Structure 1
Amino acid sequence: MLFFSFYRWFMRASVGKRFCVALLCGASLLAAKPSRAADASSFPAWMPEVGFVQIGRAQETRATVFGLIWPWEKAWRMGGGQWSGYWELALGRWSTPGVDGRDRAWVTQFGVTPVFRFRPSEGRSRWFLEAGIGLTVMSPIYRSPSKRFSTAFNFGDHLAVGRNFGENAQHELSLRYQHFSNGGVDHPNPGEDFIQLRYATSFR
């Protein structure tokens, strides 16, 4: 599929190519207005439309993430389905076994990510696939017993599959794979990989 071919190419691309793709996507999507329902007058444009909570696990690290979502107004028909997307703001806490004699170490993470979503069956399916790449900042710099990041700023790439449910499809569950690293900007750059479960619900 086109979706997976692009993702494989992107994950193997150089840092410069990744940055250019992210920059082009961001520039083209800045013009996309947040989606508005028919009762837009009662729902200000600056308010997020969706909230989520997410739990994740890496080899040694657990993560709990809360976030807000602003869907894009634009959607595209291509490849037998519908492409759309959203802007995501996320705030998370990572917990890992401590180093230097500490019981546990904690990292606070903030991220901003543009995300593309694909629905098959011309967009009528409740199932979806999605992928995104965003920027994250961590404080303090992440360290676990076996890994040490060298930068506070990193990229976050993810691939997910999920499904909406509820009478108005206002709820969703998704299973996500997410990789964090600085893309080789500095070393060491071991990266960290999470498997995550997300629940999201609409505020409308």
Structure 2
Amino acid sequence: MKVRRFVWPAHVVRGALVALCAFGAASAQADNMFGVQLGAGVADHDVKKLDLGLVWDPGLQWWHIGGYHFTLVGEAHVAYWKLNAPDAVYSHIWEYGVTPVFRFIKDTGWFKPFIEAGVGFHFLSHVRQTPDRATSTSFQFVDMVGVGAQFGEHANYQAGFRFQHLSNADIKEPNPGTNFSQIYFQYNF
């Protein structure tokens, strides 16, 4: 009688190892911090946006320079767009996405200013905004730059300003892009 052994597919084993390493690296950091972010923004064509974000700061630090260092945080967002144009096809659009954000932030202190930049992937619930304005794909790249500060005795509070650009990078035409200026506030647990 021949005994058959089950062999896990290579992609499943690799994925499990990557997840295990990522979990191990994250749990090895004592500075893990999670936050809830609330933002508001405006764009051309009479578009307003409310944004709710969940933020994970694994406490990574590298390249300490003059009392500042680089770090990386992960953000997941759900945003609601309100289009006030009189000819809006969809006056309510939802945006979902994730963005890794690089920051250059002060090492210590009650007030820690930073600059930040990130590129992420987002999806829109509707591609058509008005009869003559459409994005052609729900999939959008989102790049942003911003300034802000963490403050408080335990860095529990954060506020900032961001310029955010949504575009499908000419995957498909038309690709008018949308530029938001937004402010945000965050509470870190």
TM-score (norm 1): 0.71
Contact 1:91 1:111 in 2 (8 A): yes
1:51-92 Cα offsets, whole Å, 9 max, x none, are: 010000002100001010111232102554300011111001
Cα displacement (A) at 1:141 = 1.5
1:58 aligned residue (43, 50, 54)? 43
Letter in structure 2 aligned against 1:133: V
Identify the residue that residue 123 of structure 2 maps to in structure 1: 137
Letter in structure 2 aligned against 1:165: F
Cα displacement (A) at 1:148 = 1.6
Cα displacement (A) at 1:190 = 0.7
| Structure 2 residue 102 is matched with structure 1 residue 116 | yes
The sequence identity of aligned pairs, in percent, is 31
- 1:1-204 equivalences in 2 (<5 Å): 31=22, 33=26, 36-37=29-30, 49-59=34-44, 60-80=46-66, 81-98=68-85, 100=87, 105-120=91-106, 123-124=107-108, 126-144=112-130, 147-203=133-189
Contact 1:35 1:71 in 2 (8 A): no
Structure 2 residues without counterparts, runs of 5 or longer: 1-17
3-state SS, counterpart of residue 49 of structure 1: strand
Counterparts of 2:37 and 2:98 in 1: how far apart (Å)?
A: 14
Q: How many residues align?
A: 164
**Which has the higher mean CA deviation after the structures are superposed, 136-145 or 85-94?**
136-145
Contact 1:34 1:71 in 2 (8 A): no
TM-score (norm 2): 0.77
**Aligned Cα root-mean-square deviation (Å):** 2.6
Contact 2:88 2:130 in 1 (8 A): no
**CA separation of 1:101 and 1:187: change in aligned 2, threshold 3 A:** closer
Cα displacement (A) at 1:36 = 4.8
Counterparts of 2:171 and 2:99 in 1: how far apart (Å)?
A: 19
Letter in structure 2 aligned against 1:124: T
More helix by share: 1
Structure 1 residues without counterparts, runs of 5 or longer: 1-26, 41-47
Letter in structure 2 aligned against 1:52: Q
Structure label with greater radius of gyration: 2
